Amino acid sequence: MYTRFSKTGILIVYAFFFSDCALYFATKVPPQNLKFGIEQKKTEPDRKSILFLGDSITHGAVSSNYVDFVRKDPKLSSYLVLNEGINSRLTYQLLPLLEDVVELQPEMIFILIGTNDLISTLGEEQFNRYKKLWKLTERPNRDTYQKNLGQILDTLQKRTKAKIVLISVPPLGEDPNSNPYQVSKDYASIDHKIAEERKISIIPLFEILEKGLSASGRSPRASYTGNYGIMYWAIFQYYNFFRTWDGIADSNGFEFLTDSIHLNDKGGKILSDLIIKEIASKEFKTKE
């Protein structure tokens, strides 16, 4: 009896320990972030920087880290590649960062934001989660998304010389017949509209992944259900069982996503390759 109780107790302790470890790594702020870049510029004022603004997809701690893929490219070794992605951010949470971005004056800025904005519109439970987390004073919708994103881009265009590149939101789930997928498609179209109005480059991530899904032949397609358990289980497997993001995605029935929201390494590599190509095409020719 004592032995059985001891073994059970040990298992419970291990479960809590490994869960805490996974949570720590999943929520840890990227070390080479915006604040780091500002401090680094003081000692290396001539070093060029590339800034990534976004949410957990950019943070890369609960899924593939596409920013790390970019950072590891040998051609970019002399550049300061900064990851300013934080879990659960909406466009609202980028607005207070703009003064710091202006202070940094990076050569290029990549923006991937909007997944949490659109999730917050899918139901009362989703909205209340973000309202509680961020103390939102208004209900997000496609108009607030368009307004906030426009304000972000307008400020950066007016007050920096950076080459700005918008990235369209990825699909939410992979079932094209599901409502969440269609909402994400609508938000991706907003991204294109805003980029076109401001003559800003855009990486069509949604559209490229959508083509990839059609070509994959995967059936049935897994959809977004609002169940966060699948995300937490994916995180636990990655940090404690050392499973790959691609392996986790496959187990969950996804081609490019791990949990219906975040990119696996297959999706992350597609995005990082597009970004590296975009950087090479611009050659850091900033606005005069």
165 in helix, strand or coil? strand
Token pair in block for residue 41: 């510029």
**CA angle (16 as vertex; 13, 19 as ends), nearest 5:** 145
CATH number of 31-218+265-282: 3.40.50.1110
Position 29 confidence tier, pLDDT thresholds 50, 70, 90: confident
pLDDT of residue 161: 98
Which stretches within the chain are classed as H helix?
2-27, 34-43, 56-59, 66-71, 98-104, 115-119, 124-134, 142-159, 179-197, 205-216, 229-240, 245-251, 265-282
Position 228 confidence tier, pLDDT thresholds 50, 70, 90: very high
pLDDT of residue 103: 98
User: How many whole angstroms separate alpha carbon 226 and alpha carbon 228?
Assistant: 6
Q: Taking Cα atoms as reference points, which of 213, 207, 214, 224 lies closest to residue 258?
A: 224
User: How many whole angstroms separate alpha carbon 235 and alpha carbon 56?
Assistant: 12
| Averaged pLDDT, 211-220 | 94
To which residue do tokens 């790959």 refer?
A: 244
Token pair in block for residue 61: 């701690």
Token pair in block for residue 138: 């208004």
pLDDT at 65 over 80: yes
Position 223 confidence tier, pLDDT thresholds 50, 70, 90: very high
Signed CA dihedral, 59, 61, 62, 63: sign only: positive
Q: What is the mean pLDDT of the chain?
A: 92
pLDDT of residue 284: 52
| Averaged pLDDT, 241-253 | 98
For 72, other C-beta atoms within 10 Å of its C-beta total 12
| Averaged pLDDT, 234-242 | 96
Q: Taking Cα atoms as reference points, which of 265, 233, 235 lies closest to residue 26?
A: 235
Position 6 confidence tier, pLDDT thresholds 50, 70, 90: low
pLDDT at 8 over 80: no
Token pair in block for residue 109: 């800025």
Q: Where are the domains of the chain?
A: 31-218+265-282
pLDDT of residue 266: 99
Phi, psi at 241, each rounded to 5°: -105, -5
Amino acid identity for residue 223 in this structure: S
For 174-200, write each residue's pLDDT tens digit. Answer: 999 999 999 999 999 999 999 999 999
60 bridge partner residues: none
Under 8 Å between Cβ of 101 and 109: yes
Q: What is the pTM of this model?
A: 0.91
| Burial tier of 151 (Cβ tally within 10 Å: 0-12, 13-18, 19+) | middle
| Averaged pLDDT, 95-99 | 99
| Averaged pLDDT, 225-240 | 96
| Averaged pLDDT, 40-67 | 98
Position 282 confidence tier, pLDDT thresholds 50, 70, 90: confident
pLDDT at 216 over 90: yes
| Averaged pLDDT, 100-122 | 99
User: How many whole angstroms separate alpha carbon 82 and alpha carbon 157?
Assistant: 19
- For residue 171, what are the CA distances in angstroms to 5, 92, 130, 143? 46, 21, 20, 19
pLDDT of residue 27: 60
Residue that wins the pLDDT comparison between 18 and 261:
261
